[in-house]
Amino acid sequence: MNFEQLWLTYVKKENNKEICGIRHIYADCDNPTATHGAEELLLALEVMTGSKPVLHKTPMGDDAEEKNAESAEIIDRIKLCIVPGMKAESYHIYENENWIMIEASDGKGILYGAFALIRQMQREKSLKGLNVFKEPAAPLRMLNHWDNMDGSIERGYSGNSFFFENNEIIVNERTKTYARLLASISINAVVINNVNVKDNATCLITDRYFDKLKELSESFAGYGIRLFLSLNYAAPMELDGLDSADPLQEDIKQWWREKMAEVFTKIPNLGGFLIKADSEGRPGPFTYGRNHADGANMLAEAAEPYGGLIIWRCFVYNCRQDWRDKKTDRARSGYDNFMPLDGEFKDNVILQIKNGPMDFQVREPVLPLFGGLKATNQMLEVQIAQEYTGQQRHVCYLIPMFKEIMDFHTYVAKEKDTVCDIVTGRTFGHTNCGMAAVANTGNDANWTGHDLAAANLYGFGRLAYEPELTAEEIASEWIDLTFGKDEEIKQILLFILINSRGIYEKYTSPLGIGWMVNPAHHYGPSVDGYEYDRWGTYHRADHLGMGVDRSDKGTGYAMLYNEPNASAYNHMETCPEELLLFFHHVPYTYRLKNGKTLIQHIYDTHFEGAAEAAQMRKQFETLKDRLPEKIYKRIDERLLHQEEHSKEWRDQINTYFYRKSGIMDELGREIY
């Protein structure tokens, strides 16, 4: 089958005596997930050492092979052991004279520990003295696929779905490799279908698909992954012709009780459901004069007997806005809809909240529901499919941005008040919480279209389990694992990845204003593309200035934050400059902290950004002889496209604002 193994590509380490010494694996655990851990070690060691170690399914006791004096120093065995009492999904790896021990709470811990050890060996870090203890930060670490059942992927930039084709579900070698890849980065939950549930996807909760879903969910379960489905809120009407989906109506409640009983019995490893309701035309409780708590709780009550979770999205806004209306502010809508419901959701409901109040732009403030909600389970939703950040054709390593979001102080508590604290349960002691990413995979051979976009998939999983890792550490790991130990490759790719988001931001929309993309497909510059449209996404540029006044004199959005954030955002002088145009309408002649005017800043950053994109490609090309030809070509092609496309961005943005403002570039560069 035509697909690659990404960071699970192992290579021979014949000169590494430490790794080559390992000849035995003792797996004394009768657990399918732990058994996969042992198998993964066997697989990795077979490639690295040239021959498969022996697997002993017994404790390492008296029957362990005796060592002779000269081999006593060599680590020659790995022991896997489930130890009751440790936190779920945690592991402890340590070296003990001549063996490596992986102790874990459960099968998942063993599997994660095995992959952690494989990483260590792949990167040729010494095993002597190894002593690593890890516990998961976010309880739910989830991918949301926006895959449709005809095989297309909404906002998919790396081929078609590998879950669906012609309205059928696929379970094959690729879905197994997918599960292995996810387990290796500790992802423990997956939604396989698009949040916009229509047509056949509504039928995923019917007999027609149960057998295949069961098969897929069992295959996932072996790798510690729970299957979730996106649900159509109007399913009772569409599947069984009921005349309503009113969450407070008894026959509707009964329909869902029976449906949940059926679905959870037929698909035993099902974790629950993700729901997009009353959003962008999807059905929901508003139709019946009910609110989101009514809708979510009705489903949660029906799913509760089976331990099912209801993950309810907060991406709710008026998508039929009149652009003339300056009072309505899309940024406010998530907060305004959900904040009044704090404390009203059942315990098996989790609100899934996008990182920003708009929609996955390259720069947005944190959505203030984080720091607002206190008595509601919360999950952070980010998007690694780069819908607005270059669609996996431009390189844009998103982990630095995710770190910024997670480290944001909400001031909801005296301590442990960051977004990371909230979604890992540290702030309020919640256990139903975590992180979800809109996935960036498809059936392209390299899974993510752009080879470098795989760093976002890898990084998301690593970050959700260990948020204390830095973006650099994660990138270094990924580079070592994917491309082998080569300092030159590492330094150049690290430079590209770490700078990529900043570069992308420079040549696209300035200072947090966002959008300025072509409507519908969202690729490439179109400054007024959304300006006179109904989606609530405006830059409000005129001949004097630009930006949206979200201060207390404007839409009041800034005041939704806790202090001191509210005051900081509310004033132009204290607002972080990278978000200036998100919060304020600013004259082109306004001077930024570095003394430059806003208009000059726009010109400078756009010239710089495009020049840096060109520079990235130049740097990459020095790796021509160090990377496999196929991979080199694939990446180089995309970097070339990015270089050209960044000029288009630069020129359209600069020209637009030059024509609006009539102010010349101080450096007299070419603007059209």
Catalytic residue IDs: 280, 359, 387
Residue 360 binding ligand BDP, by CB under 6 A: yes
Q: Which is nearer to ligand BDP, 282 or 645 (CB)?
A: 282
Cβ contact 18:75 at 8 Å: yes
Q: Which of the residues 610 through 629 are near ligand BDP (CB under 6 A)? A: none
Least distance (Å) between residue 123 CB and ligand BDP: 36
Q: Which is nearer to ligand BDP, 127 or 195 (CB)?
A: 195
228 membership: H or E segment, kind and range: strand 226-231
Cβ contact 412:378 at 8 Å: no
Q: Which is nearer to ligand BDP, 520 or 667 (CB)?
A: 520
Least distance (Å) between residue 348 CB and ligand BDP: 22
Q: Which is nearer to ligand BDP, 23 or 276 (CB)?
A: 276
Cβ contact 172:455 at 8 Å: no
Least distance (Å) between residue 215 CB and ligand BDP: 28
Q: Which is nearer to ligand BDP, 154 or 621 (CB)?
A: 154
Nearest partner of 238 among 199, 195, 277, 273, judged by Cα: 199
Q: Which is nearer to ligand BDP, 315 or 607 (CB)?
A: 315
Least distance (Å) between residue 540 CB and ligand BDP: 21
Question: How many Å apart are CA 130 and CA 101, to the nearest integer?
Answer: 10
Segment 67-71 long-range contacts (CB within 8 Å, at least 24 positions apart): 67/98, 71/21, 71/98
**CA 504 from chain center: how many Å?**
19
Residue 359 binding ligand BDP, by CB under 6 A: yes
Q: What are phi and psi of 156, to 5 degrees?
A: -100, 130
Nearest partner of 191 among 151, 145, 138, judged by Cα: 145
Q: Which is nearer to ligand BDP, 195 or 366 (CB)?
A: 195
Least distance (Å) between residue 361 CB and ligand BDP: 10
HEC sequence for 4-49: CCHHHCCCCCCCCHHHHCCCEEEECCCCHHHHHHHHHHHHHHHHHH
Q: Which is nearer to ligand BDP, 334 or 545 (CB)?
A: 334
Residue 315 binding ligand BDP, by CB under 6 A: yes
Contacts for 272 with CB less than 8 Å, ≥ 6 apart: 228, 303, 308, 309, 310, 311, 348
Other beta carbons less than 10 A from residue 325's beta carbon: 10
Residues counted in the chain: 672
Collapse the DSSP code of 316 into the 3-class scheme (helix H, G, I; strand E, B; otherwise coil) and give the result.
coil
Least distance (Å) between residue 315 CB and ligand BDP: 5
Q: Looking at 81-234, list the stretches that DSSP marks H as alpha helix, in order from N- to C-terminal side.
A: 107-122, 173-184, 207-221
Tokens for 302, please give them. Answer: 């029906």
By rule CB under 6 A, what count of residues binds ligand BDP? 10
Q: Which is nearer to ligand BDP, 365 or 554 (CB)?
A: 365
Window 236-275: contact mask with ligand BDP (x via CB under 6 A)? ----------------------------------------
Pick from 108, 141, 145, 155 the residue near ligand BDP by CB under 6 A.
155
Q: Which of the residues 76 through 135 are near ligand BDP (CB under 6 A)? A: none
Other beta carbons less than 10 A from residue 479's beta carbon: 25
Least distance (Å) between residue 198 CB and ligand BDP: 11
Cβ-closest position to ligand BDP: 359
Residue 328 binding ligand BDP, by CB under 6 A: no
DSSP state of 589: T
Question: How many Å apart are CA 584 and CA 549, to the nearest integer?
Answer: 4
Instruction: Name the residue type at position 497.
Output: L
Tokens for 25, please give them. Answer: 């694996």
Pick from 98, 120, 160, 196 the residue near ligand BDP by CB under 6 A.
196
Other beta carbons less than 10 A from residue 411's beta carbon: 15
Least distance (Å) between residue 411 CB and ligand BDP: 27
Question: How many Å apart are CA 192 and CA 228, to the nearest integer?
Answer: 7
Euclidean distance between the first and final Cα of the chain, in Å? 50
Residue 294 binding ligand BDP, by CB under 6 A: no
Q: Which is nearer to ligand BDP, 196 or 562 (CB)?
A: 196
Residue 154 binding ligand BDP, by CB under 6 A: yes
Collapse the DSSP code of 619 into the 3-class scheme (helix H, G, I; strand E, B; otherwise coil) and give the result.
helix
Give the chain's radius of gyration (CA, Å): 26
Least distance (Å) between residue 311 CB and ligand BDP: 13
Dihedral angle sign, alpha carbons of residues 245, 248, 254, 257: positive
Residue 312 binding ligand BDP, by CB under 6 A: no
Least distance (Å) between residue 429 CB and ligand BDP: 29
Least distance (Å) between residue 354 CB and ligand BDP: 7
Q: Which is nearer to ligand BDP, 357 or 545 (CB)?
A: 357
Q: Which of the residues 373 through 392 are near ligand BDP (CB under 6 A)? A: 387
Cβ contact 264:306 at 8 Å: yes
Question: How many Å apart are CA 74 and CA 70, to the nearest integer?
Answer: 8
Residue 318 binding ligand BDP, by CB under 6 A: no
Pick from 23, 276, 584, 606 the residue near ligand BDP by CB under 6 A.
276
Window 428-467: contact mask with ligand BDP (x via CB under 6 A)? ----------------------------------------
Q: What are phi and psi of 619, to 5 degrees?
A: -60, -45
Q: How far is CA 397 from CA 74, 294, 472, 618, 665, in A?
A: 40, 39, 11, 18, 31
DSSP state of 413: S
Q: Which is nearer to ligand BDP, 197 or 455 (CB)?
A: 197
Q: How far is CA 525 from CA 136, 315, 531, in A?
A: 40, 24, 13
Least distance (Å) between residue 280 CB and ligand BDP: 6
Collapse the DSSP code of 299 into the 3-class scheme (helix H, G, I; strand E, B; otherwise coil) and give the result.
helix
- List residues binding ligand BDP (CB under 6 A): 154-155, 195-196, 276, 280, 315, 359-360, 387
